Structure 1
Amino acid sequence: MSKYLVFMDLDGTLLSSDHKHISVRNKAAIETLQQHDVRFYIATGRMYELAKITQNLLNPEVGLITSNGAVFDGVSGREVTLMGSKTVELAYQITQVNKLPMMLFTPEKAYFTEKIPHFIAQNAGNFDEAFGYKEIANLKELQQVAGEITNGVVLSRGDMDELEQAKAKLADSKLLRLSSSGPDNIEMIPLKTDKGTAIQQIQWEQHVDAAHTFVFGDGMNDLGMMKQAKYSVAMGNGVKTVKEQANYVTDTNEKDGIATFLENFFKDEF
């Protein structure tokens, strides 16, 4: 049985600023603590198959919370919460007003409704050159997959007013939970679902309480999980609100903030 649980966001937290690499020091700290019954989880807005790319940089013992909590590794297998066809179709209608790019995800597949500039998609943390995306050309095509969607992200093309208008309409629907991994996107998640709800379920399944739980994050979509751990840790590069909500602040992702905190905490324990 695990003594501690550690949940790590990816972009801006575990990964370097290129969104692809884990430092040698962070990897070593994780592997060392895994030998002492510390269980690690990636906790990300990325879809399941895309998050596995990062998991493969570590090891299979690292669990996954993906799609902002809609898809995660439970003790009996992968657990999935869907957005619902009605919600997905409404999001499509709202984003089509100003042709805002929208990316929609199942655990294994990804779809887009408008052509997405490479740098925007990459910065949203939902893009990998080796991963295929299918275009949704119209509502009829969307309806064929709407019942499989777990989460989505709406991206700005530079006009923040358009993004705010879409966000207001989505919020008014009361059909989904909204968050953000950055100022230029809207994360869409099923109601009553976020990284924090996934952590609660894992804590219950693993019989590990908040007093033995760590979370590391930097963005607004990490706020939910900050409430589920005694050791809620904001990255030095994190947004102001996350730093205010967290119980601790560590170094930046580029300065191995996760390893810095864990090495200091466990230096006399193991």
Structure 2
Amino acid sequence: MIKLIASDMDGTLLNNQMQVPTANIKAIQKAQAQGIEFIAATGRGMSHAKISLDESNIRVPMILLNGAHVVNADRETIFTIPIGKQKTLDVMDTIEKAGLYYEVFTAEHVYSANQPMRIDFFAEHILSKVPEMSKKMAIAASSQHLSLTPITFVEDIRQTLATNNEEVLKIITFDKKGPEQLKGITGELEKIGDLAIAASELTNIEINHVNAQKGIALKQFAEERGFTASQVMALGDNFNDVSMLTYAGKSFAMGNAAEAIKKIANNITDTNEENGVATAIDRILSE
């Protein structure tokens, strides 16, 4: 019997408007009423993840930053897994040498050194999800989203980290050309060692400590509650969900998931626009 459900957020729990559909909310509540725990598992940091969840009145534990930061339902930190100070500098040097835009995540902040590029990349992301929207409207939506998400823009990320004495939990880098451009830098980053390198979109790669993965965090969270892998269900759509999908005894790839992800999961549900999370949960409850 399933006792814990873990769900990715972007492309899974959330629709393309970055909202949790009503059907998904009701399915989660139905599962909770039957004693099944729910945990959100995302590449987002706390400040970004809680926006969509709070709007939906979903108060649950969260695996954040791909497993580098885990919090309980009261948003209290359970544990963090930082990249390490020297490796952080090595990663930033490698990305800058490749001329790519990146953002740095700590437990409390998201740092960026280029606001115009951030707006441009998020506008491109919106257009990929809603192609009928004009570029001008996408930029306006990106700017509005930026006003709601607490990103701290600084002139020098290295100096800011040193001044605030903050540990970096995740670094994300973007390129519009997608895998073709990012493949090269992935190889360079792998030379650094002890890093987990994955993607949540075709146009990004996310860098964490090798032990900061959704599956590892989910396993620890489950075992602390006395649950085995066979009692865990996981849902996801992209490559930063692989460790979680392979750990869980019951795994669901979204209908919109990458083909490679569909081959890894042992079940396929509807797309995120078709309330695939609700479909999967209802199926499990009926069984």
> What is the TM-score of this pair, normalised by structure 1?
0.89
**Cα distance in 1, alignment partners of residues 218 and 146 from structure 2:** 26
5 Å-filtered alignment, 1:1-270, equals: 4-18=3-17, 20-59=18-57, 61-73=59-71, 77-115=77-115, 116-118=117-119, 120-121=121-122, 123=125, 128-138=146-156, 140-141=158-159, 143-144=161-162, 147-158=166-177, 161-267=180-286
Cα deviation, residue 264, structure 1: 2.1
Distance in 2 of aligned mates of 1:168 and 1:107: 27
Find the residue that maps to 1:173 and give its secondary structure: coil
> Which amino acid is the alignment partner of residue 120 of structure 1?
F
What amino acid does structure 2 have at the position aligned with 1:180?
A: A
Separation in 2 of the partners of 1:167 and 1:22? 32
Deviation at 1:160, TM superposition (A): 5.3
- For the Cα contact (< 8 Å) 2:48–2:150, is it kept in 1? no
Secondary structure in 1 aligned to 2:148? coil
2:88 alignment partner AA: V
SS of residue in 2 equivalent to 1:40: strand
Q: Distance in 2 between matches of 1:103 and 1:121?
A: 13
Residue 184 of structure 2 aligns to a residue in which SS? helix
Structure 1 residue 90 displacement after superposition: 0.9
Q: Which amino acid aligns with 1:102?
A: Y
Could you tell me how far 1:110 is from its partner in structure 2?
0.6
Q: Judging changes above 3 Å, is the alpha-carbon distance between structure 1 residues 17 and 199 closer, same or farther for their aligned structure 2 residues?
A: same
SS for the counterpart of 1:168 is helix
Q: Distance in 2 between matches of 1:77 and 1:157?
A: 34
> Structure 1 residues 178 and 142 mapped into 2: Cα distance closer, same or farther (>3 Å)?
farther
Whose helix fraction is larger, Structure 1's or Structure 2's?
2
Residue 267 (structure 1) shift: 2.4
Structure 2 residue runs without a partner (length 5+): 127-144
Query: Could you tell me the TM-score, scaled by structure 2's length?
Result: 0.84
Task: Give the total of aligned pairs.
Answer: 265
Q: Tell me the distance in 2 between the aligned counterparts of 1:98 and 1:218.
A: 28
Say whether the 8 Å CA contact 1:237–1:252 is kept in structure 2.
yes
